[in-house]
Structure 1
Amino acid sequence: MAALKNEVKSFIVQALACFDTPSQVVESVKNEFGEVLTRQQVESHDPTKACSKGLAVKWQTLFHDTRKRFREQTAEIPIANRAYRLRAMNRFVEKAETMKNIGLAMQILEQAAKEVGDAYVNRRVEPDKSLDDEIKRLNIQKLQRELEDPNKGLPEPKQVIIGVEDASDPEAE
């Protein structure tokens, strides 16, 4: 195994700091520099791994600085922002609806609901505790009023007499 040039080492360390896998880095080094490496060689340049105990301080510093910058710059990547993803999903749903692809539209809507915070969940939603308490209080008050005057609010009973002939009816005679 030949010694790697500083330029290649720098490339490897920075790629690993950006969360590329050793296999991806091997392929990138082959395409970029024409050098064939093993995954183990690449992994030995990752200071978060046990196999890279002897990695020089300058490469460790480069790794940690690159990783810090990478994480900070992630916020600038549009797809890393929820609003951007939701806008894109909205466009996709509209496109799926115009294509009359309801299944795809429903899948996108489900994904959007998950994106906004687990809104798409198949579970019973319990009412607000204070609202539940208020309903109970009102029901108790209604029952108390009914106990005080059970006939209050009921219509007056009608008196109906069936089967009695009217004596003043001339046809009855």
Structure 2
Amino acid sequence: MTLTMSANGLSDEVKRFVVQQLAMFETPSEVARAVKDEFAIEVSRQAVEAYDPGKRAGASLSQEFRELFAATRETFIADTASIGVTHKVVRLRTLARLIEKAEGRGNAVLVASLLEQVAKECGDAFTNKRQVEATGKDGAPLMDGGITVTFVRPAPIPDAG
């Protein structure tokens, strides 16, 4: 049996669950589904938004739940190190296994795609690092002094007369 409740009628346990899920970047729709699965209570997406202090609907959220949201969000962000796929070596190892499987099945298109993914991983394509090289014409070093503009006056047109 599933109960339908407004945000005000939720128990503190459910409210804490909602706040923590939102703090972990779950969408209101996902949280509403999780509440239904976990507690057999149907809550609308709009009711869930009332527990997000970053949303207009959550403007009147109690200090207790604001602090819970902030603490959960901080812990969640700091804890990404425990998630395996956040580490480059784990992603490369997984890609290597997938390449072996794809090769074994003769799927050359998938192998090529996965190899491209490996090249991107190795080339730091998925970081916020940027390598910028600036050179002058034909690879020559840039000149000091900025841009030089030369004005060429056209030659006068001779009189035909």
Fold match, TM over 0.5?
A: yes
The answer as to 2:99 corresponding to 1:93 is yes
Alpha-carbon distance in 2 for matches of 1:100, 1:33: 47
CA shift, 1:92, in A, is: 1.0
Q: Which residue of 2 aligns with 1:170?
A: none
Structure 1 counterpart SS, 2:16: helix
CA shift, 1:98, in A, is: 1.9
Alpha-carbon distance in 2 for matches of 1:48, 1:115: 34
Q: Which residue of 2 aligns with 1:151?
A: none
The Cα offsets for residues 44-87 of structure 1, whole Å up to 9 and x where unpaired, read as: 10111122110001101000100111111111110111110011
CA shift, 1:15, in A, is: 0.5
More helix by share: 1
Alpha-carbon distance in 1 for matches of 2:125, 2:86: 18
Structure 1 counterpart SS, 2:41: coil
Q: Which residue of 64, 67, 72 maps to 1:66?
A: 72
Q: Which residue of 116, 121, 128 maps to 1:110?
A: 116
Structure 1 ranges of 4+ moved more than 4 A: none
Unaligned stretches of 5+ residues in structure 1: 120-125, 134-173
Alpha-carbon distance in 1 for matches of 2:71, 2:56: 19
CA shift, 1:115, in A, is: 2.0
Q: Which residue of 1 aligns with 2:33?
A: 27
The answer as to 2:75 corresponding to 1:50 is no
Greater RCO (CA < 8 Å, at least 6 residues apart): 2
Alpha-carbon distance in 1 for matches of 2:62, 2:77: 23
Alpha-carbon distance in 2 for matches of 1:114, 1:64: 34
Query: When the two structures are aligned, how many residues end up with a matched partner?
Result: 124
Alpha-carbon distance in 2 for matches of 1:16, 1:38: 14
Q: Which residue of 2 aligns with 1:149?
A: none
What does 1:69-148 correspond to in 2, within 5 Å? 69-116=75-122, 117-118=124-125
Unaligned stretches of 5+ residues in structure 2: 1-5, 127-132, 141-161
Q: Which residue of 1 aligns with 2:17?
A: 11
Task: Report the TM-score, using the length of structure 2 for normalisation.
Answer: 0.71
Alpha-carbon distance in 2 for matches of 1:118, 1:25: 32
